[in-house]
Amino acid sequence: MKKVLYGTGIAGFGKPSIGLGLDVLSLQFAAMKAAKENGTDIVLQQMGTVGYNIDEETRSRIISEQSELFNRMGEKLSKLSPIKFESFQSQNHTNFKSFAPILDETKERLKVFNKIPNWETVKNYTELQTAQMRRFIEDDGMFYKVGWSMSSKNKDLTMTQLEDLINKRSLSEFYFDQIFKFCYPELKLGYEYVPADIDFATGLQRAPYTVVEGEQRPLLNERFSKFCSKVQDMKSFDVALKRFEKKIVKPFEQLFGELSGDVIEKVDQIQDQVIGEI
């Protein structure tokens, strides 16, 4: 069975996640739309659980908390849609016999980057990410990937541009996708990107799913209207709200039908339907 994949993480900027961002719904709904439009009924979410510089106790706690939320979301969405929801933790790729030879070949193909000064600092994580993508394609039937980007222009990069990202250690999701295309050009995959989340206070763009300490961004299990009442005077409030309307409200309504009220009220209703009691 063909599957649509999107990925999430448990840390950012060297800090552990303090909760799953509400904007993860933009990835979930985009993946569900892609599944519906491409005639399949399975969305696969991968939680990135390795490669972070955080202690084991914190890592385990975050994985447990996020897994519980994804399970709740899967149960709720199964009542709204025939599209099935599967969740996977990246640490479990090594449980598959197919993964070791895939990782070995990936390392061999990526040796071309050995000459780049900063390659050693990103090498191991890049190899893992690339090998995981191939295993999903070959073992799980993944044919389409939904990600996020800080740019509306996501054109394929040249070798020189890839080298520049490696030297800057700019490990965005777009970077990993470009590495995969370079490493395995024979494996065809569809790609789609939703805009990044933005901080209501600073306007800085961030990954939709990872909220860290100090950021003003809503959590999936935090009532959106309550969050908005605390940040409505912040400089990026209006811009952020419009982005939530475009990325979460409209896709939800396209999938499940019209909602009543303003944007804040609609997001509250969406939380009720996909998470339940908060």
DSSP designation for 111: G
Q: Which helix (H) or strand (E) holds 7?
A: strand 3-8
pLDDT in tens, 163-212: 999 998 888 899 999 999 999 999 999 999 999 999 999 999 999 999 99
Q: Which phi and psi (to 5°) does residue 141 adopt?
A: 75, 20
**First-last CA distance in the chain:** 34
Helices (H), 96-118: 99-109
Place of tokens 């640490």: 91
pLDDT in tens, 28-61: 999 999 999 999 999 999 999 998 889 999 999 9
CATH number, domain of 123, equals: 3.40.50.620
- Residue 167 belongs to some domain of the structure: yes
- Residue 143 belongs to some domain of the structure: yes
- Residue 228 belongs to some domain of the structure: no
- Residue 243 belongs to some domain of the structure: no
Cα–Cα distance for residue pair 149/47, rounded to 1 Å = 18
- Residue 73 belongs to some domain of the structure: yes
Tally the domains of the chain.
1
Domain interval for residue 109: 3-222
Q: Which phi and psi (to 5°) does residue 8 adopt?
A: -135, 175
- Residue 128 belongs to some domain of the structure: yes
49: helix, coil or strand?
Answer: coil
Cα–Cα distance for residue pair 115/7, rounded to 1 Å = 29
Q: What is the pTM of this model?
A: 0.95
- Residue 171 belongs to some domain of the structure: yes
